[in-house]
Structure 1
Amino acid sequence: MINVGLLITHQYRLLSVAAILDVFETVNKFTLASGQEAPFRVTLVCPGTTAANPAFSYPSVTLNEPIRLDLVLVPSFASDDIAGTLHKNSEFIPWLISQYHKNAEIATFCTGAFLLAATGLLNNKIATTHVDACAAFAQAFPSVKLLADKTVTQDGRLYTSGGATSTFHLLLHLVHRYCNRDMAIKIAKIFAIDMDRETQAYFSTFQPSRDHTDELVATAQEKIESNYHDTGTIEEMIRDIPASRRNMVRRFKQVTGITPIEYLQQTRIEAAKKLLLQTSLQMTEVIYNTGYNDPKAFRKIFRKTVGMTPSEYREKFQVR
């Protein structure tokens, strides 16, 4: 039997915990119905001396109690103040490191990746998280190889998933890993999960960071956002800012996590996405109105950023 520990962190998202428990419960029920032993024993791991929520009918232990686990699961938590949430959950950090060194695998869901990254175990390893939290993650943990578009990542004994429904894709991956493909397919059908989705890029929304005090960078951001539809170069857009190009690029990336040209491209693509969904403009008009004059270049950048073509994006998400 596989010993699974589910962290009941401070400010965990109930939906995340419920989804994880529901999938493991379902796997156990299917297995028991076939006359076999349930594959998973789930224990809730609680901070300090705090007891588990009585709504969860599972055995629980605190961080102070010894336990040996095969698989540790870190649910998503509220992302309004990630730094504050990490501070509240700091007691989990040495515990996670200890479990990993005892050969446990660790899987995080959505913003739970921040807690794993804070342990240092993800340094120089690949990871993903909620698409809208990727900029903050990259800035907080530059040593992690962030794959923002991925739904699920695995690097050795460490697993991460993207946001929201990507939780189910990682759960399928774990069911396949610990049980078999047939069980993973059965769970996918029960929970109506699209097993083939490997990217979450088209769910992202570009939300540039404004939580900084660098006035030059703030000015550059404002100029880019006000003039993205112009076809001029990035240098022309920020030419009157009193800083050398090299210094501006360095400061800009340090503050926002991306270069000015990447910021311009992200701003343009976000504008294009809105035009595709909120208007009936022809594709050539969308391209022109977002500052591109080369349709081929626009489509290439759009597909790379969003994970599908502009036409596919409009077809998939436009309200009819």
Structure 2
Amino acid sequence: MLQIGILLIQHYKLLSLAAITDVLETVNKIYLQREAAAPFKITLVYTQESKSITYAFPNYHSEPLEQGSRFNLVLVPSFTTDNLPQSVADNVAFLPWLQSQYQQGAEIASFCTGAFLLAASGLLNGRIATTHVDCCKAFSAAFPSVNLLPDKTVTHDEGIYTSGGATSTFNLLLHLLEIHLGIETAIRTAKIFAVDMGRDKQHYFSTFQPTRQHNDELVAATQDKIETKYQEAGTIEEIIKDIPSSRRNIVRRFKQATGFTPIEYLQYTRIEAAKKMLEQTGEQMTSIILSSGYNDPKAFRKVFRKTVGMTPTEYREKFNASAHRS
């Protein structure tokens, strides 16, 4: 029987914890229906600060991390808050425990933004990892020693696993099932939960959400110019020519405040506009290309594929609601 410890973290995401426990319970039931021993023993591990949360899960065995039990597999669910540094700080007691579990032979898997807690333990340093696609920039800034692969749904590096956003939780769980119980169990579970086992990329789920949480009026004015003038096919210099500052100063301050150069910001703004048109309209591709600020179809398709991870046509087929109804 595999001893599984699930961290009962503060600010846990209910969907994440529910998905993890539901899949593990379902597999146990599959084995019991075959009159075989259940393969998993599930334990919720809590700190003094998260002890009160155990009352929400009366059907599970729970224990304090001070008890010192050894696990074969430790699972770190996702956070529900946007303030990830604070979420990690509120769960700092888990960090030495995670290190100890790994040193004693446990495998460790984080789901979605749970990767921030796992990375804070130092166990991801020098290793590959992924997390929610919209949190990758913040993750890289906080943990530069981690080899982040933003487009990956699942990563595996020396007994440490991570998954991307939300439903990627299921992909990682299926991966773990295949490793520990075999492909047959993984496939049966995938069918029960209607999960596509072949999905290994997540980049096309990302949304460009530029920050406005800075006090630089020059940068804010530049953002406004780009966001209102992006359809005017031309250079970034033409778009921001009325900003009262030198190009060098604008680029320096813009990069410092937003994390992007003005040219990158313009590119992402245009691609995001194209994505929305592909999702919501039936416009011809030529019209979409021109409306998003490009006048060269070949250049547009190249940038779109590089940014989104698929062609514009593939994106429309995947996300356009009217296309799905037809």
Q: TM-score, normalised by structure 1?
A: 0.91
Q: 1:227 maps to which residue?
A: 229
1:183 corresponds to which of 165, 170, 185? 185
Q: 1:200 maps to which residue?
A: 202
Q: C-alpha separation between the residues in 2 aligned to 1:215 and 1:62?
A: 49
Q: C-alpha separation between the residues in 1 aligned to 2:218 and 2:124?
A: 33
Q: Output the amino acid matched with 2:22.
A: D
Can you list the C-alpha shifts for 1:18-59, whole angstroms capped at 9, x where unaligned? 110111111122223333322221110011271523534121
SS at match of 1:196: coil
Q: C-alpha separation between the residues in 2 aligned to 1:157 and 1:135?
A: 25
Instruction: Please report how far the alpha carbon of residue 285 of structure 1 lies from its aligned counterpart in structure 2 after TM superposition.
Output: 1.1
Contact 2:281–2:320 (8 Å) recurs in 1 = no
Q: 1:130 maps to which residue?
A: 132
Q: 1:119 maps to which residue?
A: 121
SS at match of 1:35: coil
Q: 1:285 to 1:4 in 2, by over 3 A?
A: same
Question: What is the Cα-based RMSD across aligned positions, in Å?
Answer: 2.1
Which has the higher mean CA deviation after the structures are superposed, 37-46 or 79-88? Answer: 79-88
State the 4+ residue runs in structure 1 displaced beyond 6 angstroms: none
1:44 and 2:47 matched: no
1:33 and 2:33 matched: yes
Instruction: Please report how far the alpha carbon of residue 206 of structure 1 lies from its aligned counterpart in structure 2 after TM superposition.
Output: 0.9
2:318 corresponds to which of 303, 316, 319? 316
2:111 corresponds to which of 84, 109, 112? 109
Q: 1:10 maps to which residue?
A: 10
Q: TM-score, normalised by structure 2?
A: 0.90
Instruction: Please report how far the alpha carbon of residue 253 of structure 1 lies from its aligned counterpart in structure 2 after TM superposition.
Output: 4.0
Give the fraction of aligned pairs with identical amino acids, expressed as a percent. 61
Q: 1:143 to 1:167 in 2, by over 3 A?
A: same
Q: C-alpha separation between the residues in 2 aligned to 1:216 and 1:153?
A: 40
Which has the higher mean CA deviation after the structures are superposed, 175-184 or 32-41? Answer: 32-41
Q: C-alpha separation between the residues in 1 aligned to 2:264 and 2:147?
A: 18
Q: Which runs of 5+ in 1 are unaligned?
A: none
Q: How many residues align?
A: 319
Q: C-alpha separation between the residues in 1 aligned to 2:148 and 2:244?
A: 31
Contact 1:220–1:241 (8 Å) recurs in 2 = no
Q: Output the amino acid matched with 2:245.
A: P
Contact 1:79–1:111 (8 Å) recurs in 2 = no
Q: 1:162 maps to which residue?
A: 164
Contact 1:139–1:256 (8 Å) recurs in 2 = no
Can you list the C-alpha shifts for 1:153-206, whole angstroms capped at 9, x where unaligned? 122222111111111000000101111011100100010001111112222211
Q: 1:92 maps to which residue?
A: 94
